[in-house]
Amino acid sequence: MEKSSPIQRSLESQPAEFAQSTQRVALVVQYVGTRLHGWQWQPNARTVQGEIEAAVRSVLGYAVRLSGAGRTDTGVHAAAQVAHFDAPSFIPAHRWADVLNARLPEDILIRASAAVADTWHAQFSACWRRYRYTLYTGQRPNLFVRPFVWHYYRQYLDQGKIQVALDAMVGHHDMTAFHRARSGKSHSWVDLQIAECHRQDTFLTVELQAKGFLYGMVRLIMGLVVKVGSGELTPAQFGELWQQGQRQQVKYAAPAQGLCLLRVGYDDHPFAQEVWFDTQPHFFWGPAVA
């Protein structure tokens, strides 16, 4: 018979009305997606939602439902995913980060936890999501960056051309060209708020921000935009392709390991900025030290 945890025993010893009072707890979650089958619970696979829900269940002795700000695919990382669940108020909300980290595997981490209003929702209260895709263009592979980048070494990628191509995507547009069949949305319209390309030596990053994305959209964009950077497509050709909704021409999604859910924005964010704002380290090569 499974032993109850100290917190379960404490809950059992409280007056019924106190033990039954609940609060909504928000979490900032980091995970390395390499060995995870995405965010959403699956019956026969390790997922972020599944692992955290199991950790909460081991504390409370019963199942809870964890809601996330976004659903990431197999192999995709997150620097500051946001989630929430309802739990007894007997446990202070700020303690949940430590309680869960003691029970979670090493590839999932709770950076912070906090109490939020009962009407606050990790998904529906969010104003935007921001993703970062990282490419490595060095001539030789490097084991220490491989889990977090797409090693695109065949040709130099022109940052300026990529930025020109991305600039045209900012705004409210029909993104049918990047609409996968498994998307849960009934339409293809996306309000892309920010699209930026940056280079640091042999590393190239693209950051895209929108209130919501189509399923797999960022990886499909990246699978095509590298053709602009390599000169295979001009920015104008790239624009014509997606503006005309030529889904049949978007045949390749960039590898999952280069993608990271960077952060989620709220009108009144429940966490201090240092907890969630830019917590995925940038890759770059500094000067060699003798």
Q: Would you list which residues are annotated within the binding site?
A: 131
- pLDDT band at residue 12 under the 50/70/90 scheme: low
Mind telling me the catalytic residues? 73
Q: What Cα–Cα distance (Å) separates residue 149 from each residue in 62, 89, 187, 193, 202?
A: 39, 41, 31, 24, 11
* pLDDT over 80 (residue 219): yes
Indicate the average pLDDT of the chain.
91
Q: DSSP H helical segments within the chain, as ranges?
A: 6-13, 16-20, 48-60, 96-101, 159-167, 217-230, 235-243, 273-276
- pLDDT band at residue 195 under the 50/70/90 scheme: very high
Q: Would you list which residues are annotated within the binding site for substrate?
A: 131
- pLDDT band at residue 1 under the 50/70/90 scheme: very low
> Tell me, what's the pLDDT at 180?
78
Of the listed ranges 3-12, 98-107, 133-142, 227-236, the least confidently predicted one is 3-12
